[in-house]
Amino acid sequence: MSVMSGKELPRDGRDLEGTELHERLEKTWGTPPGLWAWISTVDHKRISKRYIVTALIFMLLGGILSLVMRVQLATPESGLITPDRYNQLFTMHGTTMMFLFAVPVMEAMAVFLVPLMIGTRAISFPRLNAFSYWIYLAGGVLLWVAFILNIGPDAGWFAYVPLSGPEYSPGKRTDIWAQMVTFTEVAALAVSVELVATILKQRAPGMTLSRMPLFVWVSLVTSFMVIFSMPSVALTSGFLLSDRLVGTQFFNPYEHGDALLWQHLFWFFGHPEVYIIFLPGVGFVSHIVETFCRRSVLFYPAMVLAVVSIGLLAFGLWVHHMFATGLPRLGYAFYTAASMAVAIPSGVQVFCWIATMWDGRPRFDTPLLYVVGFIFTFVIGGLTGVMLASVPLDLQLHDTYFVVAHFHYVLIGGAVFPLLGAFTYWFPKFTGRMMSERMGKWTFWTLFLGFQLAFAPMHWSGILGMPRRVYTYPAGLGLEQTNMLSTVGAFAFAAGLFMFLENAAVSLRRRANAGSNPWDASGLEWAVSSPPASYNFAHIPVVSSRTPLWDNRDHLPVMTGLRVDDRELLITTVMEAKPDLREPSPVPTAWPLIAAIATTAMFIASIFTPWAVVVGAVPTAAALIAWFWPKGPETPEPVIQ
Amino acid sequence: MIPPPKFVGDLTDLPTHAFGHRSLTWWGVVAFFMIEGAAFAMAFAAYFFLITGEQSWPPAPYRPPDLLAGTLFTLIMLASEIPNTRLKRAAEKKDLRSVRIGLLIMTAVCIPLFVLRGFEFASLNVWWTDNAYGSIMWALLFLHLTHFATDFVDTVVLACLVNTRHAAEDRRMVDVAENAMYWRFVWLLWLPIYFMLYWIPRL
């Protein structure tokens, strides 16, 4: 191979900066107008926005189902909803919120923010990112079309066998649930692979692991958690499908299968799932606290260790979901201890934030209000969690509304409040516009009070013995008052969400006014325009601290020399983030969409016949080969060999 | 306001590809190892969980699987690491001629493996519908088949690719090296499965 310097190729630097550089980079990295470009784009920011909008639509749909359930439960012996429909409602609500809203929206935030926070021009494997969105969309549409056609799943979001098995759930309802799981797991796993590679290999020069922003740390940890936990549910839902379709006996006790095998494999995924949803909230809160208290988060190493230890502990306590199935005594003791142990790193985090607020100068703008709402609500949810970790109490409260109250405190308090704070905080970065602060404060208080009104009374409903997943309750058991309060609170919470969306919609219609760093924050994502250009960074930033923008107010140190006529990324070393390689980044293509369509056809057909796996593998493989087949660089790559 | 840039270094002279953990591709492949490894680990856990529900393994009156096909499969798998290592080294040395031959050899090695895999299913001595034992035995063998078939397709595609103009680009050699690494994962994972399918029922 000929040796060429490659120096004659256009690169950013002293000779090429400012507007001219912007125009040339935009030509290389931009998504031109038009449907075809829209379909084939691999820009992580565009795909993230699609993910977020889709996840919010599913959140609204799942939320509407919860309101219908609350209307049904507002009064005893209500005849509004039939038992069969009610089974579908709570199954669809849980499935939608867990698989189609919570995990995808958190991953979508990371897909947008992580490349900006670590100073790179694109996410790794951007075509896989596009593919993951289409697959996720297909899974969500499959579930909701089935529900509208009255073949929605009805065996609960965890689809316990034998209820979900071939004997007690004939028809295709459960198969649709199980295959939807496959879709969303493929999507989530793909995003996790991208995030791990991006975080470990594409950080800006100087961003050692100990200088990584906390949201990037939680994204790394949650990505590993997805990688180790989601294969478990994909495998077990595959076992369930094969029990139902081709007559395997995994869960059939008459042929020495075991129903508890399902519970183990499901909760080995299901428990880490809770932390996969919660840990991104930890990241959001840390950034908001830092910016609005005007100082970096205290005890950074303790925060990182807490995040990592939650990630590890998450895999050691799934059995606490199974206390009521009967376990060996040692099992009870071990899983109680492990479940209680999670309170330690969670507590460390809460104290770190409080200490930061104590030592800083807090300014209670809307994002910080969500943090306060989060700490209040999450601590209550955490305490009821410690209560439920104790076996005698758990056996009493198992499958009651106390548990419903507990996990909504943890999930809405621990994940949705930080998410709404994060939406408000990064809204200017996503859109170039600020959300209304006045409306934001009204929204926060409506959501916060509505939430407490809806879910606090459920603790009492549960202690009084009201079971979950039952479509009504008799009059005269003392459940009327608490249920009515919960219903009123649920509608108040829904009104708050509506106010939030309305605030966002109104703000979007305003003129772009945010500027690159409206909150005077410290992270690299604020060193680019709002919304960011297609190429993110004109020059690759260089980092020498955890708060680069606060420490470099006059000049931002940068490195030059990436090509501008071809998509090129800087690859750095894993630990020290030293510049190592320049690697090309894939150009837009429609093959991920075509591959997703082929995969979707295969997955859906395999609900009906096992041969779909064999036949459908051919077009899927063909699309994947076409996707990976090199199309040849636009210009040759003359580099030092 | 965005602070103005201060130029502190230049990246022009960095290479555009590297082998092993320096490349992005390697990390993508390793992440997929972790995903597949996690899935197989759960399948292994299911296997041992189901053993606890039986008085004997295999449950009476079933016979353990016949050894011949699976053992031959294992021996060929182990032997295939010799051409596989040579292929990986050739790719790292960018020796295109040896890479072309090596990929053809690895493709050819897979043909008898596919045939033997068919005989393995036939020698399990149980149907997947018979009982949970039969289900998990078939599942392990089937999961490994998909794993092995995936790498086979990748090998065939690369064998074609290195005979086109794209072979001139050094990054293709990185792809070949990563594919050779994947093949190691395929046979390494097979060893515990072989033990579980053929020898644990004989213990």
Integer Cα distance of A637 and A328 in angstroms = 64
HSE (side-chain half, CA atoms, 13 Å) at A536: 25
Judge whether A402 and A458 are in contact, CB under 8 Å.
yes
d(CA A62, CA A98): 10
Q: What is the CA radius of gyration of chain B?
A: 22
Q: In what order do the strands lie in the sheet with B5-10?
A: A540-541, A556-560, B5-10
Pick the residue of B1, B13, B17, B24 with the most A CBs within 10 A to test the interface with A by mutation. B24
* Residue in B8, B48, B129, B146 to test binding to A, most A beta-carbons within 10 Å: B8
- Residue partners of A539: CB distance under 8 A and separation at least 6: A12, A17, A558, A559, A560, B5, B7
pLDDT at A75 over 90: yes
Say whether B10 and A571 touch across the interface (CB within 8 A).
Answer: no
What is each CA distance from A453 to A61, A209, A449, A485, B203, in whole angstroms?
A: 22, 42, 6, 6, 61
* CB-side neighbour CA atoms (13 Å) of A243: 31
Picking from A258, A556, A579, the nearest residue to B11 by CB comes out as A579
* 8 A C-beta contact, residue A489 and residue A452: yes
With an 8 Å Cβ cutoff, is A265 touching chain B? yes
Q: Residue A135 in contact with residue A305, Cβ under 8 Å? A: no
User: What pTM was estimated for this model as a whole?
Assistant: 0.95
Tokens of A137: 């969309």
Closest Cα to residue A242, out of A635, A612, A638?
A612
State the CB neighbour count (10 A cutoff) for residue A212.
Answer: 21
Q: Do B128 and A236 touch (CB under 8 A)?
A: no
Q: Give yes or no for A520 touching B (CB within 8 A).
A: no
User: pLDDT grade, residue A7 (50/70/90)?
Assistant: low
Task: Report the greatest alpha carbon distance in chain A.
Answer: 89
What's the confidence (pLDDT) of residue A513? Answer: 84
For residue A3, tell me if it sits in a domain: no
Question: Which pLDDT value is given to residue B3?
Answer: 86
pLDDT digits 0-9 by tens, A418-453:
999 999 999 999 999 999 999 999 999 999 999 999
- Give me the percent of chain A exceeding a pLDDT of 90: 93
Q: Which of A258, A571, A629 to mutate to test the interface with B (most CBs of B within 10 A)?
A: A571
Mean pLDDT in residue range A160-185: 95
Chain B CA closest to residue A246: B129
Residue A497 lies in a domain: yes
State pLDDT tens for residues B94-139. Answer: 999 999 999 999 999 999 999 999 999 999 999 999 999 999 999 9
Give a yes or no: residue B60 inside a domain.
no
Q: B160: Cβ–Cβ under 8 A, 6 or more apart, which residues? A: none
User: Is A87 within the bounds of a domain?
Assistant: yes
Render pLDDT for A175-217 as a digit per residue (tens, 0 to 9).
999 999 999 999 999 999 999 999 999 999 999 999 999 999 9
Which CATH number fits the domain that encloses residue B135? 1.20.120.80
Residue A106 near residue A419, CB atoms below 8 Å: yes
Provide the residue range defining the domain that includes A334: 44-252+259-521+539-556
DSSP output for B50-87: HHTT-SSSSPTTPPPPPSHHHHHHHHHHHHTHHHHHHH
User: In the structure, what pLDDT confidence band is assigned to residue A14 with cuts at 50, 70 and 90?
Assistant: confident
- Across the interface, whether the CB atoms of B43 and A641 are under 8 A apart is answered no
- Out of B10, B17, B139, the one facing A13 most closely (by C-beta) is B10
Using the Cβ of A14 and the Cβ atoms of chain B, whether some distance falls under 8 Å is answered with yes
Find, among A92, A90, A97, A96, the residue nearest to A72 by Cα: A90
Selection from A192, A222, A7 nearest residue A111 by Cα: A192
Residues of the domain holding B85: 23-51+65-202
Q: B12, A559: Cβ pair inside 8 Å?
A: no
- How many structural domains comprise chain A? 1
- Provide DSSP, A335-390: HHHHHHHTHHHHHHHHHHHHHHHHHS-----HHHHHHHHHHHHHHHHHHHHHHHTS
CA angle B42, B154, A135 (to 5 degrees): 60
**Mean pLDDT of the A550-566 span:** 93
* Tokens read off for A272: 């880490």
Q: What are phi and psi of A281, to 5 degrees?
A: -60, -40
> Of B37, B60, B66, which Cα lies nearest the Cα of B182?
B37
Residue A639 pLDDT grade (very low, low, confident, very high; cuts 50, 70, 90): very low
- Pick the residue from chain A with its C-alpha nearest to B26: A197
Is the CB of A561 less than 8 angstroms away from the CB of B12?
yes
Q: Over the stretch A525-547, which tens digit does the pLDDT of each residue have?
A: 999 999 999 999 999 999 999 99
Q: Which of residues 223-242 of A touch B (CB under 8 A)?
A: 224, 227-232, 234-236, 239, 242
Please report, in tens digits, the pLDDT of each residue of chain B (203 residues total): 788 999 999 999 999 989 999 999 999 999 999 999 999 999 999 999 999 999 999 999 999 999 999 999 999 999 999 999 999 999 999 999 999 999 999 999 999 999 999 999 999 999 999 999 999 999 999 999 999 999 999 999 999 999 998 888 888 999 999 999 999 999 999 999 999 999 999 98
pLDDT tens for each residue of A360-375: 999 999 999 999 999 9
Contact A239, A152 (CB under 8 A): no
Q: What is the CATH number of the domain that holds A182?
A: 1.20.210.10
- Mean pLDDT in residue range A132-161: 96
Mean pLDDT of A226-234: 97
Q: Is residue A568 part of a domain?
A: no
**pLDDT tops 50 at residue A594:** yes
pLDDT for residue A623 is more than 90: yes
Q: Which of B16, B152, B164, B171 to mutate to test the interface with A (most CBs of A within 10 A)?
A: B16
**Average pLDDT, rounded, for chain B:** 95
DSSP string, A400-414: BHHHHHHHHIIIIII
3-state helix/strand/coil string of A108-139:
HHHHHHHHHHCCCCCCCCHHHHHHHHHHHHHH
Sign of CA dihedral A605, A607, A611, A612: positive
How many structural domains is chain B composed of?
Answer: 1
- On chain B, the residues whose CB falls within 8 A of the CB of A556 are 2-6
Q: Could A228 and B54 be called an inter-chain contact, meaning their C-beta atoms sit closer than 8 Å?
A: no
Residue B142 falls within a domain, yes or no? yes
User: Which residues from B are below 8 Å from A554, CB to CB?
Assistant: 3-4
* CB distance A618 to A605 below 8 Å: no
For a pLDDT cut of 70, what percent of chain A falls above it? 97
- Say whether pLDDT at A111 is over 50: yes
In the structure encoding, which two tokens stand for residue A30, read together? 């931009």
Sign of the dihedral through C-alpha A39, A45, A52, A433: negative
Q: Which residue type, as a one-letter code, is found at position A70?
A: R
Q: What is the distance, to the nearest Å, from the Cα of residue B73 to the centroid of all Cα atoms in its chain? A: 14
Residue A555 clears pLDDT 50, i.e. is over it = yes
Q: Nearest-CA residue of chain A relative to B13?
A: A640
Report, as an integer, the average pLDDT of A289-293. Answer: 97
Asked whether A195 and A110 are in contact (CB, 8 A), the reply is yes
Q: Which residues of B touch A539 (CB under 8 A)?
A: 5, 7
Neighbour count for residue A6 (Cβ, 10 Å): 18
Task: State the Cα torsion A167-A171-A177-A183 to the nearest 10°.
Answer: 120
Question: By three-state DSSP, how is residue A532 classified?
Answer: coil
DSSP assignment of B7-67 equals EEEE-TTS-S--SGGGSHHHHHHHHHHHHHHHHHHHHHHHHHHHHTT-SSSSPTTPPPPPS
CB distance A251 to A165 below 8 Å: yes
Angstrom distance (rounded) from CA A400 to CA A475: 17
The 10s digit of each residue's pLDDT in A451-491 is: 999 999 999 999 999 999 999 999 999 999 999 999 999 99
- In this structure, how many other beta carbons lie within 10 angstroms of the beta carbon of residue A252? 21
What tokens were used for A12?
């950013």
Task: Give the chain A residue nearest B155 (alpha carbons).
Answer: A625
CA distance A47 to A126: 9
b/e sequence A512-537, b meaning 16+ C-beta within 10 Å: eebebbbbebbbbbbbbbbbbbbbbb
CA dist., res. B165 & res. A264, Å (int): 51
B-facing residues of A in 596-635 (CB < 8 A) are 621, 625, 628-630, 632-633
**Using only C-alpha atoms, what is the Rg of chain A?**
25
Inside any domain, residue B73: yes
What distance in Å separates the CA atoms of residue A202 and residue A581, rounded to the nearest whole number?
10
A570 vs B: CB within 8 A: yes
Q: How many other C-beta atoms lie within 10 A of the C-beta of residue A410?
A: 22
- Beta partners for residue A557, in sequence order: B6
Nearest CA in chain B to A542: B8
- Closest-CA distance, A331 to chain B, in angstroms, reads 15
Domain assignment of residue A19, yes or no:
no
A34 three-state secondary structure: coil
Judged by DSSP in three states, A631 sits in: coil
- Give chain B positions within 8 Å (CB) of A229: 38
pLDDT tens digits, one per residue of A341-398 = 999 999 999 999 999 999 999 999 999 999 999 999 999 999 999 999 999 999 999 9
Length in residues, chain A? 641
Q: Band the pLDDT of A640: cuts 50, 70, 90.
A: very low
| Residue from the list B8, B59, B130 with its beta carbon closest to the beta carbon of A559 | B8
Residues 138-157 of A with CB under 8 A from B: none
Contacts with A23 (C-beta within 8 Å, 6 or more apart), sequence order: none
User: Nearest residue of A to residue B165 by CA position?
Assistant: A632
Task: Please give the biggest Cα pair distance in chain B.
Answer: 79
Of B22, B32, B39, the CB nearest to A235: B39
